[in-house]
Every structure is written in structure tokens, then in C-alpha cells.
Amino acid sequence: MSCAKGPMMETYIAPMSKDGQVTIPETIRRRLGMGDENSVVFVLRDDGSVELRKKVLSLEDVFGSLPARPGMSEDLEAEIAAAIEEHLASKYKHVHQ
């Protein structure tokens, strides 16, 4: 692996295996704050360049990753819908008066 520096930019060159695998240089992993279990996002730009980013977990990524606690909810979806309805009713009660 090699590194070249230019104005406000560092360029790293890493070999690619025949399977298309590339090792992300340690300096880049540190700068992105990446650990062993992170994923990366490749952003393809219109000018042909590619941006590499650390994948940030969203709520959708972690939804369902923990099991429901037994006996805590008969119907969680119904409880969520009721809570949303209650919140909206209290937030906008002056509109209906």
C-alpha cells in the first residue's frame, strides 16, 4: 500500500484481489472511526468518483434485533398506534375545539 499527499487530499493505493476484495488502509479506518464489525457505503458520483463512508446504523437496521420482553405487551403495534394517536390528539387538541 502506498500514500501520496496533495493539496487538502491524501491518496491511498491498495491492491485488489481477483475476487474484488480490498483492504481499507488503517489510516482511513481510524479516520472513519471504524471497528471490526462496521460496514462501508460506496457513493458513486456523477463525475465518476467514488466516496467511501462508514455505514451508520438506522432504526430500521436495529429494529427487531432484541426480542420482546415476555409479558410486557399483548399487542405492541396496537400500543404504538394508540400512543401516536394520543400524542397527536393532545398536540392538536386546540385545532378541534
Say what the pLDDT of residue 45 is: 94
CATH number of the domain within which 43 lies? 2.10.260.10
Tell me the pLDDT tens digit for each residue of 5-55: 656 678 899 999 999 999 999 999 998 888 887 888 999 999 999 998 998
Give domain status of residue 38, yes or no. Answer: yes
Distance of CA 44 to the CA centre of its chain: 17
Between CA 74 and CA 68 the distance in angstroms is: 11
- Residue 2 pLDDT > 90: no
Tell me the pLDDT tens digit for each residue of 44-97: 999 999 998 998 888 887 787 777 777 777 777 888 898 899 888 887 776 555
DSSP state of 72: S
Give domain status of residue 74, yes or no. Answer: no
How many structural domains compose the chain?
1
Residue 37 structural domain = 2-54
Give domain status of residue 17, yes or no. Answer: yes
Give domain status of residue 19, yes or no. Answer: yes
